[in-house]
Amino acid sequence: MSRKQQPEKYEKGTRSYTMSHIRGKDTKIEVLVRSYLFRRGLRFRKNDKRYPGHPDVVLPKYRTIVFVNGCFWHMHEGCTKHAMPKSNVEFWQAKLLRNHERDLAQHAELEAAGWRVIVVWECELTKAARADRLARLYEEIVREDSVRK
């Protein structure tokens, strides 16, 4: 017995409208990371356009840049939240691959300029893993600076 295909979640034409309203900055996970770092006493710039990729968090004192990436949009390999859409596959493959390649190029450019780049993935900020990941992020930022001195 064959499985019935699930009905379309959106009316015709509304998927594009919905996708266009997904934020590019100040997402919940970005705000979560920034508020944690601020509470821990770190001061930073957010979404600084002077750097490739407009990083979510720039910590000049520590020469560190933090990107908070969504697993779907940035193709987090091996993650359950990254799954290729089943419709319009060619479009999505091209778009997501472009995003991934652009991220790699931007990170390489920043590292060549002497910045340390840290990526925090959306799946690392689930309620179960959040406290541990944020504590590790803080340690990654602060510990590296004390090693340099």
Lowest-confidence segment of 5-9, 51-55, 72-76, 121-125 by average pLDDT: 5-9
Q: Is the pLDDT confidence value at 1 over 50?
A: no
CA-atom Rg of the chain in angstroms: 18
Spell out the residues 6+ positions from residue 44 whose beta carbon is closer than 8 angstroms to its own: 34, 37, 38, 57, 58, 59, 60
Mean pLDDT, residues 25-32: 88
